[in-house]
Chains A and B, each alone.
Chain A
Amino acid sequence: MKKVMGLCNLHSLSSLNDLTNSRPIASTSFLGRYAFIDFPLSNFSNSGIDEVGILVKNHPRSILKHLGSTNVWNTNTKLGYEAIMYNERYSHAPSYNHDINNIIANDWIFYNAKPDVFVIAPAHILYPIDFRPVIAAHENGKAAITIIYASINDGKTQFVDGDQIGLDASGRINELTSNKGAKDDIDVSLETYIINSSQLQDLISIARKTSSFYSLRDAVAHAIGLGWNVAGYKHTGYVRHFGSLQHYRKHSLDLLRYDNRKELFTDVWPIYTVTHDTPPAKYGPEAQVKNCFIANGSRINGKVFNSIISRNVVIEEGAVIKNSIIFTDTKIGKNVHISNAVIDKYVRVEAVKDIAGTEEEPIYVKQGDRL
C-alpha cells in the first residue's frame, strides 16, 4: 500500500476582508460550529490519511488554538498527527512567504515522514471528497500531478481570482490561469494536487531555479508549460470558493437550504471538529426561530430568521435577527434589530438598536466591540 501524507495548504491567499484580519480563513468560524480547516482535515481523516501537515502562512496563534492538543481527526493517536508547518524566517516577507519556501523549511516530510504520495488541499475551497479513488486514478494514469477540478456555470461571480484550467481532448490539463470573471462556464481548479514525493521535490527544484517568488501554484503552471503529464480529476457535487465577506455570508446562509446541506453533510462523511463541551441550545418563551443553524451553548429568547447563531451566543427578548451570522460568545441585547450582518466574537450589542447591511454589502462588526 502506498503511504499518503496530507498537506493542508493555507498559503493560497483568500481574504474575507475584515473577518480575516487577525485569523486565517482556516480557523474562521463556519456554520456556528466549525472552522474551515475542519473540512479538509475531515476529508483526509475519512479518506484514511492519518499523517497531515498544515502549511501555515500567518496567524499561527489562531490555528494552534483551534487544533489544540486534541486527536479529533486521527485514527491512530500515536501514528497519526497534524503537524504545524510554519516558516518563521519569511513570516514577515510577503513575497517569500509562500508554500514552496514553507515546504523547503519543513523538508522533514521528505526525509522522515517519507510518504509515496502527497495530497495537498486548501481550506478556503469547501467540498467533501474521498481522496482514495483520486489517488487510484492518479496512479493508474501515471500522472505527474493530478489536479482536482470542478465545472461551474457562474464563473463571472464565483472562483474569481481563483484558478481556471484548460483541458485537452484526452483529459490532460494544458493550461492553468487565473479566473478574471470573464465567462460563466469554466473549469476551476480546487487547488488540490495529488503528487508523488519525488515529483514534488522536482517541482520544488524547478521553482527554485526559476524564481524565488514562485508558489506551488506557479510551479505547477510552469510544469504544465514544460509538458508534464498533469491530469484532471473532476469533482461533482457540493463545492464553494470563499473569496470575500459577501461569499462567506452567502455560501454560509445557502447551506440552510436542504438540497445544499444534504450534499455537504452525509452520514458516511462526518465532519469532525473540536468539542467545547457546551450544553444544548436553549430557547426561551419568547423565542421565534425559523430557518437557522443554532449552535450549542446559545440561549435565544428573541426572533431569529435565516441566520446562523454560533456557540454561547445570547439573544435577548425583543431582539430581531435576519439574514445574519453571529459568532461565538456574542450577546445581542433587548430590542436590537440586526439584518444582513456578520457579527464577530465577544461582541455586545446593547446601545445601538439597529444594525442593517445589505445583501451586497453586509455589515461587519469587529471582535470584542461594544455597540
Chain B
Amino acid sequence: MGKEIVAMLLAGGKGTRLEALTRKIAKPAVSFGGKYRIIDFPLSNCANSRIDTVGVLTQYESVFLNTYVGNGEKWGLNGVHSLTASLPPRQTEEGAAWYKGTADAIYQNIDFLDSLQPEFVLILSGDHIYKMDYQLMLDAHKANNADLTVAVIDVPLKEASRFGIMSVNEEMLITKFTEKPSKPTSTLASMGIYFFNYKVLKSALTLDAKDESSEHDFGKNIIPYLLGKKKKLLAYRFEGYWKDVGTLASLWSANMDLIDDEDALDLYSTSDDLKIFSEDTHSVPQYVGRTASVTKSMVNQGAIVLGTVDHSVIFNEVLIEEGAHVVDSVIMPGAVIKGGAYVRMAIVASDTTINGDRRIDGQDNIVLVTN
C-alpha cells in the first residue's frame, strides 16, 4: 500500500539576500529564534501534522543540511512508519544535472515518489517561519476535490509584488496566478505550500521537463500550465503568523516578533504537538551573572550573560561579557561580545567575536556582523 502523503521540502536555495549568513550554509539552515534553524519549522509542522514521510531536496552547501536532516530523529520523523530522506542532485543512468528549478528538483526525484506511491504530495519550502497543521489544508483539498491546493495569505498591497499573487472566485478556486506581478491586482499571496494529487503532479512535471523554454518553476510554469488545462486549483486561506525570512531585515524582524508578540507563534504553548523541535546542543545551563541586566529578550541554554541585554535574541554558547551592551539585536551561536562593546540593530553571525572597542549600530537598517 502506498503512502497517503509524502512531503517534499525544497531546501536547495542559497538565499543570496542573507549575504554572508549563507556563505557556508544554505538558507534553510540559517539560525533563528535563539535555538532553531529555519528548516525546523516546516519539519516540525510535518511531524505535528502527523506526516511521516519527508524528502528534503538539497543542493547549495548540501553536506551540512543533509547531515542536519539526518534520519529525521530531531523531529521524531524516524519512527517505524516514517522515512526522512535527503535528496541532493545525483548521477543516474541518464547522466547528472543540478536541479534547474523547483519543479525540476521534484521531477528528478519522481522515482523516489513512485517508490512510495503517494496519493498526495505536499510541496514545502525551507524559507518560512510559521506553524501550520497541513492536515486541515488536506481536508479542504479533499472536500473540494481539487487537483492542486495552494496555501495563501493576505499580504499588504505594497508588498504583493514580491510574491506569487492569485485571484480567486467566490468558491476560492484560483482564476489567475501571476508570479511577482509588477502591478498586483490582488493581495492573496502564495505561501509556496502546495498539495497536489500525485497523478496530476507527475504528468505536469513530465511534460514540463520536455519543454525547453520552461524555467521548471512551480509558480512560473506548473501552476499556469494547470490553470490553462482547466484543472481545479483551490486556494486555502491561512490566517496564522507567517513570515518569509529571505532578507536580513525580515530575518531580524521575525526574531523580534518572538519577543514583541508572544502569541504570534505561540512557542511557549504547553501542548506537545505545537512544539517546534530542533537539535539538542548538550549545552551547560544558561547563566546570568551578578553584573547582568536582561530585559525583553530571549536567551538560550549555554549562553552566559554578564553584560546588558535588551530587546534581543541570544543563542546558545553566546558570551556577553561584563560591560558589553546588546540592544535590538540577534546574536547567533558561539558569538562573543567583549566588555565595552556596543551592539545595536545588528545580526551577529555564529562564532563571531566583537571586540570591546567596537560600536556597532545598524540604525534604520540591519547590519550583519561576521568575523
Contact = CB atoms under 8 A, between A and B. Distances in A.
Contacts of B267: 279
Nearest to B312: A283
B268 A289 contact: no
A174 interface: no
A277 B294 contact: no
B34 A299 contact: no
B86 interface: no
A19 interface: no
Contacts of B296: 283-285
A288 B310 CA distance: 11
Interface residues of A, number: 35
A265 B284 CA distance: 7
B285 A282 contact: no
Quick one: which of A256, A272, A275, A295 has the most chain B CB within 10 A?
Answer: A275
B210 interface: no
Interface residues of B, number: 34
A299 B266 CA distance: 13
A351 B44 CA distance: 38
A291 B212 CA distance: 65
A289 B35 CA distance: 21
Contacts of B33: 279-280
Given A292-B287, A293-B285, A294-B286, A282 B293 contact: no
Contacts of B300: 280-281, 296
A280 B285 CA distance: 11
Nearest to B288: A289
A297 interface: yes
Could you tell me the dominant secondary structure of chain A's interface residues?
loop
Given A297-B268, A299-B268, A281 B277 contact: no
Interface in A306-321: 308, 312
Contact of B286 (A271, A287, A296): A296
A256 to B, nearest CB: 7
B80 to A, nearest CB: 12
B259 interface: yes
Contacts of A296: 35, 286, 300-301
A270 interface: yes
A294 B268 contact: no
Interface in B272-323: 275-278, 280, 282, 284-290, 292-301, 313-315
A52 B280 CA distance: 22
A277 B287 contact: no
B276 A277 contact: yes
Contacts of B282: 270-273
B330 to A, nearest CB: 12
B298 A33 contact: no
A282 B286 contact: no
B270 interface: yes
Interface of B: 33-35, 259, 262, 267-268, 270, 275-278, 280, 282, 284-290, 292-301, 313-315
Q: Top 4 closest A-B pairs, CB basis?
A: A280-B34, A275-B280, A280-B300, A293-B285
Given A294-B286, A294-B299, A296-B286, 9 more contacts: A33-B285, A261-B284, A279-B33, A280-B33, A283-B295, A283-B299, A286-B295, A296-B301, A312-B270
